[in-house]
Structure 1
């Protein structure tokens, strides 16, 4: 009876989890065309207001007169292929060559793109009179734009038209084996007066989830910001369009990112320089989020170079933690982070040892099962006692089935006589549920498991088993478990327990193979443990009866 309650509780818990995710996803969806918030309700600091006004003016200018789209430069390194448009110097397409596509696995994964309704680009510019912005047409220095064997860095230089004696170059620096790109502005003031420009760096993105994003998981897509004072915050697209986005307006540390399942792009200011974060709606289902950095006064005849790091790549936790404080928090495990983080640490440790994420999951399952052995053993001992008195419970049901009050009283008397706690089998296992849910999020969120092979037909532990072998075998193990448990006296409960393995198998058809593998191994270990404890108790009871 305890295992039945446990399974029902698990179904209820998982249902609540998915309902909560679905509600969160619904809250993030745009529900109406965005409208500008009244200035009095959401006052922006002077720098932010200046940038927003400049962007609005440039947007209107672009609508009234067609602009020269310029040319596109394709830059290739060993891990990236980037398309940089000379109009604005925007990164309008970015392919991650070490990661396969979400839909077409024969092609590289596309992070940035500007194609049809899909818009996700990295933009940057300067704020100041006649200074180049992401609407300025740059001139590219001659190529090649491919990182050659033996080279460690590759630079792409874009020159803006000189204005008022100010000469500006935008310089992209790519490095071998790195997803970090330096975006620098080289400013030389040959004019007659000092200037005090600001540099802005932003992501422009539509509000749609990325292609191939699993609907069942409802993972987060949208901006996120971090400072030491405010810590990690998500900024829902719906809050941006309503003018309710809560960002730390100014700070001397922190970063801003655009997050999606498995991947992210982040602007990472260098050093403890002053910065201002912003997020705004640009139009129907189009948003911008970024950071503004003051460059200080540049006197006539002086020069200055301002550099911002752009990370655009996978959410590899060890690499992110080294790049910037708090950047690894984009791998969001929710309220169970305190459990999930050490679980992933152990899983990663096993992987470095065995070089197979599937085997690492098996080893982690064995370890978790060993840690919780005392609790599980107590639960199975309680189940064994319950199974031993099942015939007597059935007899009580036959005698008092017509009178529920007498039935419950007789059952309680029997439990008291045999010194059995009817909840004794549930409580130890319920304590383990947070660990299971935390591990669920680890397996769902870890990009390290994306396209990670296990054995044979399972070539991606983050995707469902293509032939449903693991879910079916998992269902068989659940059926074996039901046979080891006491039969419920209630025929309806008994029927539900018979259907449960089939229902769970179908349910797990859509789960990542890595999670199904964990559940399957956990079931096999549970069966072995339950059989061993039950047999030991039966032998002890038989020996006691012979005395």
Structure 2
């Protein structure tokens, strides 16, 4: 009996430890405060498809190197929070899904607002994915590499200042540059109805005398700060966030996260040269990704901007795959840019492996099927809170045979309490004889003292997997259940569910056999309080699931106890 309780306690503690370690692995490490080592703005000269490391900057920078990522004004490394907003004019674009601001001179994407997703903490405002503000600097830049080719530091001329999709299916926003005689370049942004994909296309009209082989680069520039409102460092639980930072995907190495800390230390490892894949900047619930098309060669890079708190991640690709632009000809290159929510089915359709940006921790193989089932149920129910409740009931039915067997074992153990107390009184402090007598009693009564632990062990992976589903699925972000629960992906603001969970846990302990050891009995009484406090910081959806599990467990154990106690009574009456 005591052994059973100890193991149950160990299992609960171990599950908490697993959650903690999973959080720690996904946490965005802070950038070291020391003066950063200057890093080249892009990978250069590396065609080895094996793992690459961020190179240290050299005194001579090749002509094909991407110009250093720029902001509207110099940024002090000592005070990274003092990133100024742009002072240049902007070109505004609005569709049914996106509202963007493009720099009218460089064509940089400086602000991206997702119109169908609300800000955390203020549902009246749309969510800003890219922006220039204190503590959150995140933009996208593009340009060309090669002699006479314009880049993001060149002067581009937009064809207008305001663009609205209106009733159209798509709109195009063009920027032109003809600074170099014989080279006319148009940068075109294409926006489509209902889409989070922005197609960035370069059209080059070349009138020179000899062939040229320019490249285009597409990069993100951002600081290392976690997304505002999506994570908090105010306590040891919510201070742990999902991964924020660059990611590179290739068929050779699949999904590769690159932490800001590794970039800072020149230890970032990823495949730099490939003929497939994509590069992204990942954050909680959302992702921005450059998605090269076709099978042409491309170079991925992830670096620290020299003398700055900013980082770059991007891709370089030839305008003409494996060839050159001949005199008096034209050439084009398109690069889709996804800026939006981590909607798994949509991401799967866009690029191989793009759905891997959804962070389900180390139990993804279990978490994803759970999400699929939850999504199916929600398509019929229409409320994620009730969906979680129905899902919990279904899960309980799946495990009903195991729980029934374990419950009977617990009830049998409870019926043996008088005999166990008698053995304890008989053997006193002689632990060895007491344990031998206990084992003999278990053998005689044909009961396994650990029989009630199996359902707990089996359900722990489901608990952890569901935690990651609720933490990582954008579908649950800002989704209400009822009353005071306005967001199932954040903690209960009034702690009602954690208290109910603790109360249900307390009732469960009373239905199960009580430890003979007074110290263990006190521990079991305190455990519901400890778990209630811990669950103050868990997503409300997860606490709802666990509370519902407890309520169903109480009903099942009560029924088992009632039927088990009635069975011996009938047997006794029959003997008379």
- Taking structure 1 as the reference length, the TM-score comes to 0.93
Deviation of 1:46 (Å):
10
Hey, what does 1:172 align to over in structure 2? 189
Partner of 2:127: helix, strand, or coil?
strand
Deviation of 1:21 (Å):
2.3
Hey, what does 2:508 align to over in structure 1? 481
From the superposition, tell whether residues 292 and 537 of structure 1 become closer, same or farther in structure 2 (CA, over 3 Å).
Answer: same
From the superposition, tell whether residues 62 and 435 of structure 1 become closer, same or farther in structure 2 (CA, over 3 Å).
Answer: closer
Partner of 1:535: helix, strand, or coil?
helix
Hey, what does 2:46 align to over in structure 1? 44
Query: Matches of 1:33 and 1:220 in 2, distance apart?
Result: 24
Hey, what does 1:295 align to over in structure 2? 319
Deviation of 1:221 (Å):
0.4
2:91–2:160 CA contact under 8 A, matched in 1: no
Query: Matches of 1:5 and 1:52 in 2, distance apart?
Result: 63
State the number of aligned residues. Answer: 541
User: Does 2:298 correspond to 1:275?
Assistant: yes
Query: Matches of 1:31 and 1:538 in 2, distance apart?
Result: 66
User: Does 2:380 correspond to 1:315?
Assistant: no
Deviations 1:93-135 (A, max 9, x none): 1111111112433211111011234211111111111211121
1:375–1:429 CA contact under 8 A, matched in 2: no
From the superposition, tell whether residues 205 and 482 of structure 1 become closer, same or farther in structure 2 (CA, over 3 Å).
Answer: same
User: Does 2:459 correspond to 1:429?
Assistant: no
From the superposition, tell whether residues 290 and 428 of structure 1 become closer, same or farther in structure 2 (CA, over 3 Å).
Answer: same
**Per chain length, whose mean CA-contact separation is higher, i.e. which structure has more relative contact order (CA < 8 Å, sep 6+)?**
2
- Superposition pairs for residues 286-435 of structure 1, below 5 Å? 286-296=310-320, 297-435=324-462
Partner of 2:485: helix, strand, or coil?
coil
Deviation of 1:54 (Å):
3.9
499-508 or 512-521, larger mean C-alpha shift: 499-508
**Residue of structure 2 aligned with 1:133, choices 133, 151, 155:** 151
Deviations 1:134-158 (A, max 9, x none): 212211112441111x211121111
More helix by share: 1
User: Does 2:144 correspond to 1:151?
Assistant: no
Hey, what does 1:182 align to over in structure 2? 199
From the superposition, tell whether residues 541 and 372 of structure 1 become closer, same or farther in structure 2 (CA, over 3 Å).
Answer: same
From the superposition, tell whether residues 514 and 24 of structure 1 become closer, same or farther in structure 2 (CA, over 3 Å).
Answer: closer
Deviation of 1:4 (Å):
5.9
2:302–2:311 CA contact under 8 A, matched in 1: yes
Query: Matches of 2:562 and 2:73 in 1, distance apart?
Result: 79
Hey, what does 2:530 align to over in structure 1? 503
Deviation of 1:28 (Å):
5.9
1:315–1:328 CA contact under 8 A, matched in 2: yes
**Residue of structure 2 aligned with 1:247, choices 247, 270, 284:** 270
Hey, what does 1:106 align to over in structure 2? 124
4+ long deviations beyond 6 Å: 46-49, 58-64
Query: Matches of 2:117 and 2:463 in 1, distance apart?
Result: 28
Hey, what does 2:52 align to over in structure 1? none
Deviations 1:61-92 (A, max 9, x none): 9869xxx9642112111111111112321111
Partner of 1:107: helix, strand, or coil?
strand
From the superposition, tell whether residues 70 and 93 of structure 1 become closer, same or farther in structure 2 (CA, over 3 Å).
Answer: same
From the superposition, tell whether residues 188 and 62 of structure 1 become closer, same or farther in structure 2 (CA, over 3 Å).
Answer: farther
Aligned-residue RMSD, C-alpha: 2.6
Q: Which runs of 5 or more structure 1 residues have no equivalent in the other structure?
A: none
- Taking structure 2 as the reference length, the TM-score comes to 0.88
**Residue of structure 2 aligned with 1:207, choices 201, 224, 239:** 224
2:28–2:243 CA contact under 8 A, matched in 1: no
Q: Which runs of 5 or more structure 2 residues have no equivalent in the other structure?
A: 50-54, 56-60, 76-85, 233-237
1:252–1:273 CA contact under 8 A, matched in 2: yes
From the superposition, tell whether residues 157 and 526 of structure 1 become closer, same or farther in structure 2 (CA, over 3 Å).
Answer: same
Partner of 1:247: helix, strand, or coil?
strand
Query: Matches of 2:26 and 2:178 in 1, distance apart?
Result: 46
Hey, what does 1:55 align to over in structure 2? 67
User: Does 2:177 correspond to 1:160?
Assistant: yes
1:28–1:236 CA contact under 8 A, matched in 2: no
- Superposition pairs for residues 52-131 of structure 1, below 5 Å? 53-56=65-68, 70-131=88-149
Query: Matches of 1:170 and 1:501 in 2, distance apart?
Result: 61
From the superposition, tell whether residues 70 and 165 of structure 1 become closer, same or farther in structure 2 (CA, over 3 Å).
Answer: farther
Query: Matches of 1:227 and 1:207 in 2, distance apart?
Result: 24
1:470–1:513 CA contact under 8 A, matched in 2: yes
Deviation of 1:198 (Å):
0.5
Hey, what does 2:499 align to over in structure 1? 472
Query: Matches of 2:169 and 2:542 in 1, distance apart?
Result: 39
From the superposition, tell whether residues 407 and 111 of structure 1 become closer, same or farther in structure 2 (CA, over 3 Å).
Answer: same
1:3–1:425 CA contact under 8 A, matched in 2: no
**Residue of structure 2 aligned with 1:14, choices 3, 16, 30:** 16
From the superposition, tell whether residues 268 and 409 of structure 1 become closer, same or farther in structure 2 (CA, over 3 Å).
Answer: same
